[in-house]
Every structure is written in structure tokens, then in C-alpha cells.
């Protein structure tokens, strides 16, 4: 500081240096805030990507599970249909074997009654 007519004065160069220091500090603070916001934005982007991956994995898992379930149901349907068909065939075979015998027995009874 310089003395000028009984009061202290600050030289233009010193004032400029002080203002530049303050500007540097302010710029540093703003730069730090910008970096913090960029970090927050990056973290948010990563969280969104993680959520997208999780959602996609859940969709793929549900598709796989439902596909397996559908296959299992179709397989079971086929097995039940085959069992019903086999049972029907067995009943037809049984009928084909029993009916002639019943007819024969009926005829024998009729013949025995007429004698």
C-alpha cells in the first residue's frame, strides 16, 4: 500500500492481483461444482444402465420360465391325450373280446332253455 495525501491507497497492480486471486478462487469453486455435477450425472447414467440391464435380465428370465412352462404343459397334455387314447383302445379291445363271449353265452342260455 502506498501513502497518498494522508490516506492509504492500493496500487492498480496490487488491486488487479487481488482481483485475479479472487477470480481464480471463484473459478476453482465453479470448476469443482461442475466436476461434482458431472460425477453425479455419470453416477445417474450408470444407475440407469444398471436398471436397464436388470430389467432386460428379468424379461429374459420370465421369457425362459414361461417357455419352459408352456413346453411342460404341452408335454403333459400330450401324455394325457396318449393315456386317454390308450385307455380307449384297451376298452375297445376288451369289448371286442367280451361281447362275442357274452353273445355266445347268451346263445347257449337260449339254446339250453329251449331244450
- Could you tell me which residues are beta bridge partners of residue 2? 9
Residue-wise pLDDT tens digits, 14-72: 888 888 999 999 999 999 999 999 999 999 999 999 999 999 999 999 999 999 999 99
pLDDT of residue 97: 75
Q: Is the pTM of this model over 0.85?
A: no
As a whole number of angstroms, the distance between CA 64 and CA 59 comes to 9
3-class secondary structure for 17-86?
HHHHHHHHHHHHHHHHHHHHHHHHHHHHHHHHHHHHHHHHHHHHHHHHHHHHHHHHHHHHHHHHHHHHHH
Specify whether the CB–CB gap between 32 and 40 falls below 8 A: no
Residue-wise pLDDT tens digits, 65-105: 999 999 999 999 999 999 999 999 988 877 777 767 666 66
Residue 109 pLDDT > 70: no
Amino acid at each position: 500500500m502506498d501513502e497518498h495525501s494522508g490516506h492509504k491507497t492500493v496500487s492498480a497492480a496490487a488491486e488487479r492481483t487481488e482481483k485475479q486471486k479472487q477470480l481464480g478462487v471463484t473459478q476453482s469453486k465453479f470448476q469443482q461444482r461442475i466436476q461434482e455435477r458431472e460425477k453425479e450425472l455419470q453416477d445417474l447414467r450408470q444407475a440407469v444402465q444398471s436398471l436397464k440391464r436388470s430389467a432386460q435380465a428379468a424379461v429374459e428370465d420370465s421369457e425362459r420360465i414361461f417357455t419352459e412352462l408352456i413346453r411342460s404343459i404341452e408335454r403333459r397334455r400330450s401324455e394325457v391325450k396318449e393315456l386317454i387314447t390308450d385307455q380307449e383302445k384297451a376298452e375297445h379291445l376288451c369289448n371286442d373280446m367280451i361281447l362275442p363271449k357274452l353273445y355266445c353265452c347268451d346263445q347257449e342260455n337260449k339254446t339250453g332253455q329251449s331244450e
